[in-house]
């Protein structure tokens, strides 16, 4: 049976969206529900991706690891290690507020990126880790895409349920309380620092899982994948556009932003042949302009946080 190419493209897009939706949910825990300005998503993404890569790939002389373990073990390890790395970072950085935290986390992510690029014995350096197994892969292109898509959707759904459950639980109410009025929460005897650290680690672990899933999809991870633009700022745009504080909004934001990002290429490809290269620069312009338009008409995000009162109180 011949599967139309457009469906395969749609599936590859959906896989990508699913993985970035996981990243956006992780960020939503940190920013949307706790108010932590983590601008170092790329760092936890990278730690997760490389951990799973090293745990599940075969032995290689170029990097550490090569344990050849099953993929689920790799994903669990990715979450665990990303959380573990987040712990000392959170311990140190969460005392900074707002923009100070943002620049501190950007800094940590840049340092992680440089370590990954430079310490070849650990991560393969600039060569990266290749030959990472992809679960459920088969010789049929469409079928492998479909099965990986199913896997991504299942994982995303589980993460979504997990996050929603946490947020509906007393823990989530307390987090929003701390975010909206730290003083009051403190007065009520809540251990704010500890709760914040929990949210930071929880979010980071989910980001690590997202990174691992991307690495297995590409069967490789190289330092180019953890550039701040594509691994940090893009996720931020998705969350803010979709509606921070709302998990469904976060997922929708990913769909909208990636659709703009990917499909803008079709629009600019309509330009005549001699502008083929300039068209790619115009595409970047269109992406920027579309962001402005969404922000202009839906400044609270496409799906704002349900509890409007608490959203408005935030500065």
Partner 1 sequence: MKLTHLVVAASLFGSTALVANSAAADVKVGLLGGISGPIAAMAPPMIDAAKLAFAQVNEQGGVLGGQKIVTVVGDSACNPQNGVDAASKLVNVEQVTALVGPHCSGPVIAVANSVAAPAGVALITPSGTSPEITGLDDKGTVYRTVPSDDYQGRALARTLVAQGTKNVAVAYLNNDYGSGLAGAFKAEFETQGGKISGYAAHEEGKASYRTNLAELSRGGADTLVIFDYGDGSGLTILRQALENGFFTNFVGGDGMKSDAPIKELGAENLTTFVASSPMGEASSSLDSFNKAFTAAGGSADAIFVANSYDAAFVLALAIEKAGGDKAKVPAAISAVSDGKGEAVAAGEWKKAVELIKAGKEIDYKGAAGDLNFDANGDVPGAYGLFSIDGESFKLQTPMN
Partner 2 sequence: MTLLELMNFYVIPGLVLGSIYAVGAVGITLVFGILRFAHLAHGDLATFGAFAALAVVTASGISPWAALPIAMALCALIAIGIDKVFYDYLTDRPKIITVMASLGIALMLRAVIQVIWGVDTETYSRGLVRPENYWGLRLRDREIFTMLAMFAIVGVLWVFLQKTKWGKAMRAMSDNPDLALLSGVDNRRTTMLTWAIVGALCAASGFFLGLNTELKALMGWTMLLPMFAAAILGGVGRVEGAVLGGLVVGVAEELSVLVLPSEYKAAMAFVILLLILLVRPTGLLKGKLL
Nearest one of 224, 266, 13 to 130, comparing CA atoms: 224
Site string for partner 2, 13-42 (x = CB under 8 A): ------------------x-----x-----
- Residue range at the interface with partner 1 (CB under 8 A); choices 78-86, 199-207, 268-276, 301-309: 268-276
Nearest one of 179, 174, 167 to 189, comparing CA atoms: 174
Length of the chain: 315
Given partner 2, partner 1, none, residue 100, with its beta carbon under 5 to 8 Å by kind, binds partner 2
Rounded to an integer, what is the distance from CA 222 to the centroid of its chain? 17
Q: In what helix (H) or strand (E) does residue 180 lie, and over which residues does it extend? A: helix 170-180
Given partner 1, partner 2, none, residue 171, with its beta carbon under 5 to 8 Å by kind, binds none
Residues 104-123 that bind partner 2 (CB under 8 A): 104, 106-108, 110-111, 114, 117-118
**Pairs from 297-300 (Cβ < 8 Å, separation ≥ 24):** 298/241, 300/243
Measured CA to CA, the distance from residue 232 to residue 225 in angstroms comes to: 11
Q: 74 to each of 27, 53, 77, 124, 193, how far by Cα in Å? A: 22, 7, 5, 18, 30
Given partner 1, partner 2, none, residue 227, with its beta carbon under 5 to 8 Å by kind, binds partner 1
Residue of 217, 239, 301, 303 that binds partner 1 (CB under 8 A): 217
Q: How many residues bind partner 2 (CB under 8 A)?
A: 45
- Residue range at the interface with partner 1 (CB under 8 A); choices 29-37, 165-173, 177-185, 274-282: 274-282
Nearest one of 47, 39, 53 to 113, comparing CA atoms: 47
Residues 237-256 that bind partner 2 (CB under 8 A): 237, 240-241, 244
Tell me which residues touch partner 2 (CB under 8 A). 31, 37, 92-93, 95-100, 102-104, 106-108, 110-111, 114, 117-118, 228, 233, 236-237, 240-241, 244, 278, 281-285, 287-289, 291-292, 295-296, 299-300, 314-315
């Amino acid at each position: 049976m011949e599967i139309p190419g457009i469906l395969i493209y749609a599936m590859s897009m959906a896989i990508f969206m699913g993985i970035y939706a996981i990243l956006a949910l992780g960020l939503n825990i940190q920013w949307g529900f706790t108010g932590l300005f983590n601008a170092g998503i790329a760092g936890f993404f990278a730690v997760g991706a490389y951990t799973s890569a090293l745990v599940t790939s075969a032995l290689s002389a170029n990097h550490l690891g090569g344990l050849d373990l099953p993929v689920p073990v790799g994903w669990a390890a990715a979450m665990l290690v990303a959380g573990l790395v987040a712990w000392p970072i959170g311990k140190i950085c969460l005392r900074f507020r707002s923009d100070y935290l943002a620049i501190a986390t950007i800094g940590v992510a840049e340092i992680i990126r440089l370590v990954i690029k430079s310490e070849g014995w650990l991560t393969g350096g600039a060569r990266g880790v290749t030959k990472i197994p992809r679960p459920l892969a088969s010789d049929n292109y469409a079928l492998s895409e479909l099965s990986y898509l199913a896997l991504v959707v299942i994982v995303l759904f589980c993460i979504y349920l997990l996050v929603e459950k946490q947020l509906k639980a007393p823990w989530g109410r307390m987090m929003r309380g701390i975010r909206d009025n730290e003083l009051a929460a403190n007065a009520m005897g809540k251990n704010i620092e500890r709760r914040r650290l929990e949210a930071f680690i929880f979010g980071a672990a989910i980001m690590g899982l997202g990174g691992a899933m991307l690495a297995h999809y590409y069967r490789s991870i190289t330092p180019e994948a953890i550039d701040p633009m594509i691994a940090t700022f893009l996720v931020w745009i998705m969350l803010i556009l979709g509606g921070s504080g709302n998990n469904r909004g976060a997922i929708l934001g990913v769909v909208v932003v990636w659709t703009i990002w990917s499909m803008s290429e079709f629009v600019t490809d309509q330009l005549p042949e001699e502008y083929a290269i300039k068209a790619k620069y115009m595409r970047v312009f269109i992406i920027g302009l579309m962001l402005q338009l969404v922000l202009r008409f839906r400044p609270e995000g496409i799906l704002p946080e349900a509890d409007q009162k608490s959203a408005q109180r935030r500065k």
